[in-house]
Structure 1
Amino acid sequence: MSDPLMLLKKPSYPINNSLLDYLERFDRISKVPIFYDDLLRFSGSINVYDKHDQDTLWVRVYYTEFERSEIDLTLMKIYSLLHSDGNLGIIKFLNVDSIDYCTFGNSKPFRIKVRNILNDNYTHFYIKRADASRVYGLELEHILSPDKINFLVYKDTLIEEHIMGIAGDVFIKTLLADCTETEKSQIAKEFVKFNERCMIRLLGDMRSYNYVIIPIHDFDQVVYRIRAIDFDQQCFEGNFKVYRPQFFKENYPMVKLVKDKLQHSSIEQYKDEERAVLAKRIHSAENRIKRLLQIMGSDVISTDEHLNQLKLELYSYTNDLNFKKAKSMGNVMSAAFEFITRNFKNTNLFNTGF
C-alpha cells in the first residue's frame, strides 16, 4: 500500500472452527453451497464505465451458457437467504442482471446485481474470499453500529449485502460544497461520531472511499449519517492512527469541516455521546460480544509487530495496563471495550486531537 500509515498489504486469515461454530449459532452460515473460486472461471470480461464514461475499475464478466445458468440459480438462492430467509418461491421473480469483478483492493469481490422482473427493482450483494478479520469486523459492525448488516459464510467464501449510500469521496467532491451551513454542521457532528466509533472498535482504513454518506429526509431538513462499508482492516494495523479516520489525507475536507463548524466543547460532547451509546450497546449484547471476543482472543489476525506496537500506543494514550498485557488483537479489543464501559463518562479519555 502506498499510504504512509499502512505500509504492508494485509494478508487473508482463515476462519477457524471456533469462529465457524459462532457463526452457525447466529445463523451466519449459508445453506447454499457457493465458492468464490467458481466465479473466477469466467470466459471473458468487458470494462464497466460510470455515467460520466470514467473507468470504474470493475469488469463485467461472462460465462459459458451451461455454467451461467447454474451460477445464476445459485446466486438467486443466495439472494433469497439474505433477504427472505431462504424462501425459494421468490426465485421465479428474480433475474441475475450482471456479475462484476473488482480488479483492485485486497478482497477482489464479485458484485452481483439481482433484479425483480415484476417491477424492475434491483439490489446488489458481494461474493468475496472469507477472511477472519473481515468477519470479525462485520460482526462487530452488526452488534455495535447504528445499522445492522447481513452476511453469510460458506467455507472459504463470504457473502455480504450491499450497503447503500453515497461514496464518501464522491460526496466530498461533488455534493459537500452545495450543502447548507446547517447541513455542514450536522455532517461535521456525524464525522466526529464516526471517527470515535471507528477508533474505539479498532476499525482501520476509513478513507473516504471506504465509507458512505447517507442523506435522510426528515420533515423539515436533510440529515446525514456516515457508515463504514469496508471491514478488511479490523484489528490488523499497529499504528493507532490507522483507526482514526481524521488522519487520512482523503478525509481532510471533513476534518476541516469539523474545525470550521464545531467548537471544542461541542466536539467533546459528541465524542462523549458516542462513547455512551457504544457502552450501552456493549452492555446490552454482553454475552454475544464476550463469546466473540473469546474466540478473537485465541485467533491470529495480525502480526506480532503490529500487536506490540498497537498495545503500547494504546497504553501510552490511556495508561490502562490491560492494553500492555494483551497477548492478541482480540485481547486488545477486549481491553478497549472494558475501558470504554468503565470510563465512558470521562470526556478527556481517548483524545482524538481535533
Structure 2
Amino acid sequence: MDKKLMSKKKPAYPINKQLSDYLTEHSRNIKIPIYYEDLLRFQGAVEIYDKHGNETLWISTYFAEHEREEIEMSLKRVYTILHADGSDEALQYITIDAIDFCTFGNTKPFRIKVRNILNDNYVYLYIKKADASRIYGLELEHLLSPNHINFLVHGDTIIEEHISGIPGDTFINENLDSCSDQDKMAIAKEFVKFNERCFIRLLGDMRSYNYVFVLTHDFDRIDYRIRAIDFDQQSFEGNSKVYKPQFLKENNELVEMTLNLLQEESMEQYKNEERSLLAKRASSEYDRLSSLLDCMKNDTLSTPAKIKELKVELFSLTKDVRFRRAKNMGDIVSSALDFVKRNYENINPYIIR
C-alpha cells in the first residue's frame, strides 16, 4: 500500500531567503562551527547491530587522526550552542563518544553521542542536510503539537535535539502484547489523536519507525504519548491518505487494536478533542504561525500535480472552497488550520468572550 501512496524519493527543497529570515527572527538560524559536509570526510566505519544482532542501518564512523580532534571539538561546541549558551565553560567536561551515520532515508543523518565525563550522563544530537520541508515540519510540530522542538539551522546544515522514546516499530513488536487492557485502551486513544493531528497539519509518512512512544509514569497509571520524529514528508504528497497513519501498513496492528477497543463515538470524541486543542494552539501562536505560513505560501514544497490532487481531495472532504482556491501547499495547510479554527475553536460554551 505504501508504495502506491508515496513517491519513491522526495526531493530536498532549499531554504529560501524568507524562510531564512524567519529562522533568524526566532533564533533558529545561528553560526555553527561544523557543517554536514565536514562529517562526510570520515575514513571508514563499522556496522552497528541491535541487541538481537540485527543490522540497524547505522554505522559507527572514524576519522583520520589529524582531523578527529578538530571535529570532536567542533561537535562539543555544537552541543553547548544547542543545549546551553554556547560558551566554552562546559567543553572540558564533555566528550564525543560516537559519530554514527545512517545509510537509510532522505537526510542520511549523523548521530552524535555526547557524554559528560564527570558522571557519564549522555545525550544524542543529530546533524543533517537541511531541507525546507523538514524545517516547516519541525516548526509546525513546535507550534501546533504538545511537544517542544529544539533545532538550529545554518546554511544547508540542520542540528536537532534527540527526541526520546521507544521507536514505534519496536514498541509494537516487543511491548504492545504485554500491555494491560487499560493501557491498550489508552494507546488506542492516543493513536486516534496522533492520526488526527498529523492529518490536520499535513505531516506524512508516519510509519511506525518514524514516531516514538513516550511513557510517563503517573501516580496511578502509565501515560502514553506518540511523538513524530521524522518531518521530511511535510506537505509533499498529493494523496491525503499519506497524512493519516491509519493507512500505512506498518501501523496495521495499532489500527486493528483501536478498531477492536474503541467505539465509533469514542473515536469521534477524541478527534474533536484534538481538533479543539490544535485550534487553541494555532490561536495562541497566531503571529508566529502566520509568519511561518506566509513563508510556506511563497515557497515550493511539492509539484503542481500533487498540489492539485490534494486540494481536490480536501475540498471533496470538507466542501470548503478555500481548498479549491489554494495555489500551493502553504495555502492548503493554511486552509486546513483555518477550517479547524472556524469549526472547533468556539464550540466550548463556557469560554468567556
Q: Aligned partners of 1:179 and 1:171: how far apart in 2? A: 10
| Stretch of structure 1 that moved more, 134-143 or 257-266 | 257-266
- Mapping 1:153-302, distance limit 5 Å: 153-302=153-302
The aligned counterpart of 1:62 is 62
CA contact (8 A) 1:59 1:103 kept: yes
- The alpha-carbon deviation at position 33 of structure 1 amounts to 3.1
- Residue type of the alignment partner of 2:165: G
Counterpart of 2:274, as a letter, is: E
Corresponding residue for 2:86? 86
Give the 3-state SS of the residue equivalent to 2:289 in structure 1.
helix
Post-superposition shift, 1:31?
2.4
How many Å apart are 1:8 and its aligned residue? 3.4
* 1:298-320 deviations in Å (ceiling 9; x for gaps): 10011111101001100000001
Give, in whole Å, the separation in 2 of the partners of 1:106 and 1:4: 18
Distance 1:55 1:207 in 2: 19
Distance 1:125-1:269 versus aligned 2 partners, 3 A rule: same
Distance 1:134 1:166 in 2: 22
Aligned AA (1:169):
D
Q: CA RMSD in A?
A: 1.3
CA distance in structure 2 between the partners assigned to 1:230 and 1:262 by the alignment:
28
Query: How far has the Cα of 1:257 moved from its partner?
Result: 1.4
Offset of residue 345 of structure 1: 6.6
Distance 2:303 2:327 in 1: 12
CA deviation digits over 1:176-209, x for unaligned, max 9? 0000000000000000000000000000000000
- SS at 2:90's partner residue? helix
Q: Aligned partners of 1:152 and 1:230: how far apart in 2?
A: 16
Establish whether residue 142 from structure 1 lines up as the match of residue 142 from structure 2. Answer: yes
Q: Deviations over 1:142-177 (max 9, x none)?
A: 111111010000100011111000000000000000
Shift of 1:57: 1.2
Determine whether 1:45 maps to 2:45: yes
Measured after TM superposition, the shift of residue 34 of structure 1 is 2.1
CA-CA distance at 1:264 after TM superposition: 1.0
How many residues were matched structurally? 347
**Structure 2: how far apart are the matches of 1:98 and 1:55?**
17
Distance in 2 (CA, whole Å) between partners of 1:201 and 1:120 is: 39
Work out the percentage of aligned pairs sharing the same amino acid. Answer: 58
The equivalent residue for 2:318 is: 318
> Which residue matches 2:328?
328
Corresponding residue for residue 350 of structure 1: none
Secondary structure in 2 aligned to 1:206? coil
| CA displacement at 1:346 relative to structure 2 | 10
Secondary structure of the 2:107 match is coil
The DSSP-based 3-state class of the residue aligned with 1:59 is strand
Asked if the contact 2:7–2:237 (Cα under 8 Å) also holds between the matched residues in 1, the reply is no
Deviation by residue 1:3-27 (Cα, 9 ceiling, x = unmatched): 2211331000000011011001111
Q: Which digits, 9 at most, give the CA deviation of each residue in 1:31-62, with x for residues without a partner?
A: 22321111001111100111221111111111
Contact 1:48 1:57 in 2 (8 A): yes
| 2:105 corresponds to | 105
Contact 1:47 1:55 in 2 (8 A): yes
Uncovered stretches (5+) of structure 2, i.e. residues with no partner = 348-353
* SS of aligned partner of 2:153: strand
1:341 maps to 2:341: yes
Q: Secondary structure at the match of 2:60?
A: strand
Contact 2:99 2:112 survives alignment (8 Å):
yes
Question: Which segment drifts farther, 161-170 or 6-15?
Answer: 6-15
3-state SS in 2 of match to 1:3: helix
Q: What SS does the aligned partner of 1:97 have?
A: strand
Q: TM-score scaled by structure 2?
A: 0.96
Select between 84-93 and 223-232 the one with higher mean Cα deviation. Answer: 84-93
Deviations 1:101-157 (A, max 9, x none): 000111100000000000001010111100001000000111111110100001000
| 5+ long unaligned stretches in structure 1 | 348-354
Distance 1:164 1:60 in 2: 20
SS in 2 for 1:269: helix
Q: Which amino acid aligns with 1:218?
A: D
C-alpha distance in 2, partners of 1:157/1:340? 34
Q: Residue 11 of structure 2: SS of its match in structure 1?
A: coil
Q: Letter of the aligned partner of 1:234 in structure 2?
A: Q
| Equivalent in the alignment of 1:351 | none
Name the SS for the 1:24 alignment partner. helix
Q: What CA distance in whole angstroms lies between the structure 1 residues aligned with 2:185 and 2:81?
A: 40
Between 1:23-32 and 1:222-231, the stretch displaced more is 23-32
Q: Which runs of 4+ in 1 moved over 6 A?
A: none
- The answer to whether the Cα contact below 8 Å between 1:272 and 1:345 also exists between their aligned partners in 2 is no
Distance 2:75 2:113 in 1: 10
How many Å separate the matches in 1 of 2:190 and 2:269? 12
* 8 Å contact kept, 1:48–1:58: yes
